[in-house]
Amino acid sequence: MMEIGLNHYLVLSTILFAIGLIGVMRRKNLLLLFFATEILLNSVNIAFAAISHYYGDLTGQLFVFFVIAIAASEVAVGLGLLIVWHKRHGNIDLDHMSTMRG
């Protein structure tokens, strides 16, 4: 039976990071942009946790804890802004958000 090693986790993390990066660059809907950002953050979390486990150091897992906390606050603030924007303008398309310029 094959054992899952550090390389497997890093390849998974790289694939998820590429998917998230493509999602950030290609999406025009703000909600899907937030989802792609979450995929990016989770891919980094996988890499941090795998490297931390591989070296037997808890520093990477501490970083994962902080990244999860930051991601949760980003989602809370972002979804609040989305709700307000949708109530005012009726859509959440990024192309129509040029009115935010000062």
Would you state the pLDDT for residue 102? Answer: 54
Instruction: Bin 27: left if φ > 0, else alpha if -120 < ψ < 50, else beta.
Output: beta
Q: What DSSP state is assigned to residue 56?
A: T
Ranges in the chain, pLDDT < 70: 96-102
| pTM assigned to the model | 0.80
Please report, for the chain, the start and end positions of each structural domain, with discontinuous segments joined by +.
6-100
Distance CA 58, CA 51 (A): 10
Give pLDDT, residue 28: 77
Please tell us whether the domain made up of 6-100 is placed in CATH 1.10.287.3510.
yes
- From CA 53, how far away is CA 61, in angstroms rounded? 8
